[in-house]
Chains A and B, each alone.
Chain A
Amino acid sequence: MTVYAQPGQAESPVSFKSRYEHFIGGAWVAPVKGEYFEDVSPVNGKPFTEVARGTAEDIEAALDAAWAAAPTWNASTVTERAILLNKIADRMEENLETLAVAETWDNGKPVRECLAADIPLAIDHFRYFAGAIRAQEGRLSQLDEDTVAYHFHEPLGVVGQIIPWNFPILMGVWKLAPALAAGNCVVLKPAEQTPASILVLIELIQDLLPDGVVNVINGFGAEAGKPLAANPRIRKIAFTGETTTGRLIMQYASENIIPVTLELGGKSPNIFFDDVAAQKDDFYDKALEGFALFGLNQGEVCTCPSRALVQKGMYDEFVAAGLERVGKMVQGNPLDTATMVGAQASTDQLEKILSYLDIGKQEGAKVLTGGERLQLDGDLAEGYYVQPTIFEGTNSMRIFQEEIFGPVLSLTSFSDFDEAISIANDTLYGLGAGVWARTGNTAYRAGRAIQAGRVWVNNYHSYPAHAAFGGYKSSGIGRENHLMMLDHYQQTKNLLVSYSNSELGLF
């Protein structure tokens, strides 16, 4: 196991600059109003760099640059786009540790996860869309002997993207890769909690990017996000975040009549049927791991399996074994590759989780483990750590209905299939779900009955490219992580052509 040095120390694979500007038109550009904001590492609660504080003026400059690049990039061949995406992927792969440590320092997540998941998935995502765009074909329909309807894919032009803080680089790439593959220029606003790691990525790839094709403006939602989302010069807006901002972005988009894609979170049920415990074999251990995965990324995942539904026949024994498994989660220094659960991303995120631990206790949920803030020693004493927590309760409690975005599991039991589905679907959201069963018919029927865009069957928290990801109900609109996302970044041009020399005969 390795413990990476903190950024700024000599042996660290990443060295942050003391200040970052906007990235506009292929250059680093100071903010028009000259203001910057501090970026704090959740690992130790200390500021480590400052980042340009964008305003409407900077968004306009970025849109100028993007539209200046658009005539060329929009008309680029799919081969050129695929080459760019593959080169970006290669460059990221050559700098895996740099990006992984930068991500950990900005977000607080364990470097183990960045090395094994976030960055490799981001790399693969570029390669996937490089392949997908090469393989995409337009369609044609022969309407009669001499009449043909051709359908061409065209880029939208310039698009806006607003990125969340929980997977700053991966969520950025989920949006960037399909947009670039489809031939669009992009103005991207990272989250104000995690503005720096994406800029480390941009520094690494800036020589590959044609000027103006990718522009990054940092800043706060009201100051930089709104001027982007409400701008009449974007042809589409993509957002990952929460419901109120999602609705606000739709309201802005309605003013400009542009499409939106939204990913707005969930309260994902993870259902364990009795036959899981029929044998104490590898599959049983896998299911117990699935039970414990609410701790992945400190619970800061839109698809966190934050509601465990365990069937009554095996409840006591399975929950006891699950608690033991949760007790083995290694929590601590995120830069240690042995660490599985790191720091929450911000102090206010920590406060919010603590407020939910409080309401859970008030509502009478029973704390089976955890339930408190975790205080680490030494340099990490000011970091934002929470004990993995399991509440036993009922689905009407607020801790079962709201996304806590922390390592907090709400656990309940069910009698039969119908009750499991009823509890699972009793939620405002429909992003992810898990089903664990040895019987294929049960697993299949449960998977189809759950109202969620992604149901993992006998696995969880896997995000391979080419498996569509998106929400039902209040969880959003659109499907990322799949070639169908290209549709969300493309216009359809229909050319309706007559090859006949005869008159229509109407006039």
Chain B
Amino acid sequence: MPEAPKATANVVLEATAGPEDDVVRVGYTAAAVDLLRELWHRHGPLMFHQSGGCCDGSAPMCFAAGEFRTGTADVLLGTAELTDDDGAVLGPLELWISREQFKVWKHTRLTIDAVAGRGSGFSLEAPTGRRFLVRSELCAI
């Protein structure tokens, strides 16, 4: 397994690599983790699917776990163990991407951040006035 790329300084939660991937490529910032905890308490277990295309494309979409049906057309990029602010385990948080989009993203490491903003498709954070944003860094493949 290649050495994991250097984590972005502000990553506080790292995902383990998905089964089809040998690179640790998904991390979450503190702002993202805070927002995820809030959403987890309100909606229960969560998942991400990374979008592409028009308008809100390229946004990581956050859904109730299982709301978005993944299949053979998707790749699991990573699973993070989300904990509450007191350290209690909330559960696994998967991040998926379509297989065709993965092909053009696979040389990058993704950091999920949360910024002030409004809405993105059916993503659960839209009403909070914050939204998830993916930041990318090059990584070895």
Residues of B within 8 A of A347 (CB): 115-118
Asked whether A402 and B58 contact (CB < 8 A) given A191-B119, A221-B123, the answer is yes
A263 interface residue (CB < 8 Å to B): yes
A401 interface residue (CB < 8 Å to B): yes
Residues of A within 8 A of B54 (CB): 164, 166, 240-242, 263-266, 302, 403, 405
B25 interface residue (CB < 8 Å to A): no
B53 to A226, Cβ gap below 8 A?
no
B17 interface residue (CB < 8 Å to A): no
Which parts of B55-109 form the interface with A (CB within 8 Å)? 55-59, 61, 63, 67-69, 98, 100-101, 104-105, 108
Q: In the docked arrangement, what's the CA distance between A363 and B108, Å?
A: 10
Which parts of B127-141 form the interface with A (CB within 8 Å)? 127, 131, 133-138
Q: In the docked arrangement, what's the CA distance between A251 and B135, Å?
A: 28
Contact among B56, B100, B117, B127 for A242, CB-based, below 8 A: B56
Distance to closest chain B CB from A164 (angstroms): 5
Residues of A within 8 A of B56 (CB): 241-242, 245
Interface flags, B6-19, vs A, CB<8A=1, else 0: 00000000000000
At the interface with chain B, which of A147-155, A348-356, A491-499? Answer: A348-356
B53 to A265, Cβ gap below 8 A?
yes
B137 to A362, Cβ gap below 8 A?
yes
Return the chain B residue nearest A345 by Cβ: B55
Residues of A within 8 A of B63 (CB): 248
Residues of A within 8 A of B117 (CB): 346-349, 351
Which parts of A343-375 form the interface with B (CB within 8 Å)? 346-349, 351-352, 355-356, 358-359, 362-363
A-B contact count (CB 8 A): 159
Interface flags, A214-229, vs B, CB<8A=1, else 0: 0000001111011000
Q: In the docked arrangement, what's the CA distance between A420 and B14, Å?
A: 40
Q: In the docked arrangement, what's the CA distance between A359 and B54, Å?
A: 19
Asked whether A221 and B122 contact (CB < 8 A) given A53-B127, A251-B69, A398-B104, the answer is yes
A402 to B126, Cβ gap below 8 A?
no
Residues of B within 8 A of A248 (CB): 63, 67-68, 121-122
Residues of A within 8 A of B51 (CB): 242-245
A222 to B104, Cβ gap below 8 A?
no
Residues of A within 8 A of B137 (CB): 359, 362
Return the chain B residue nearest A164 by Cβ: B55
Interface flags, A226-256, vs B, CB<8A=1, else 0: 1000000000000011111111100100000
Residues of B within 8 A of A352 (CB): 58-59, 133
A265 to B55, Cβ gap below 8 A?
yes
Residues of B within 8 A of A302 (CB): 53-55
Distance to closest chain A CB from B47 (angstroms): 11
A394 interface residue (CB < 8 Å to B): no
Distance to closest chain B CB from A136 (angstroms): 30
Residues of B within 8 A of A356 (CB): 58
Distance to closest chain A CB from B96 (angstroms): 9
Q: In the docked arrangement, what's the CA distance between A460 and B137, Å?
A: 34
Residues of A within 8 A of B44 (CB): none
Contact among B98, B101, B118, B127 for A346, CB-based, below 8 A: B118
Distance to closest chain B CB from A396 (angstroms): 7
B122 to A222, Cβ gap below 8 A?
yes
Asked whether A244 and B55 contact (CB < 8 A) given A37-B127, A251-B69, A355-B134, the answer is no
Asked whether A166 and B55 contact (CB < 8 A) given A193-B119, A222-B126, the answer is yes
B108 to A359, Cβ gap below 8 A?
yes
B126 to A348, Cβ gap below 8 A?
no
A274 interface residue (CB < 8 Å to B): no
Residues of A within 8 A of B33 (CB): none
Distance to closest chain B CB from A13 (angstroms): 26
A336 interface residue (CB < 8 Å to B): no
Return the chain A residue nearest B43 by Cβ: A222
B121 to A244, Cβ gap below 8 A?
yes
A165 interface residue (CB < 8 Å to B): yes
Contact among B49, B121, B127, B135 for A241, CB-based, below 8 A: B121
B50 interface residue (CB < 8 Å to A): yes
Contact among A220, A300, A403, A428 for B126, CB-based, below 8 A: A220
Residues of A within 8 A of B50 (CB): 244
12 further contact pairs, Cβ within 8 A, besides A351-B133, A359-B108, A429-B53: A222-B122, A240-B55, A241-B121, A244-B51, A245-B61, A265-B53, A266-B53, A302-B53, A302-B55, A355-B135, A403-B52, A474-B52
Some 23 contacts from A to B, beta carbons below 8 A apart, are A40-B118, A164-B55, A166-B54, A166-B55, A240-B54, A240-B55, A241-B56, A242-B51, A242-B57, A243-B52, A243-B57, A244-B49, A244-B61, A245-B61, A264-B53, A265-B53, A347-B116, A356-B58, A359-B136, A402-B58, A403-B52, A403-B54, A428-B100
6 shortest interchain CB distances as A-B pairs: A348-B117, A265-B54, A265-B53, A245-B121, A244-B51, A242-B57
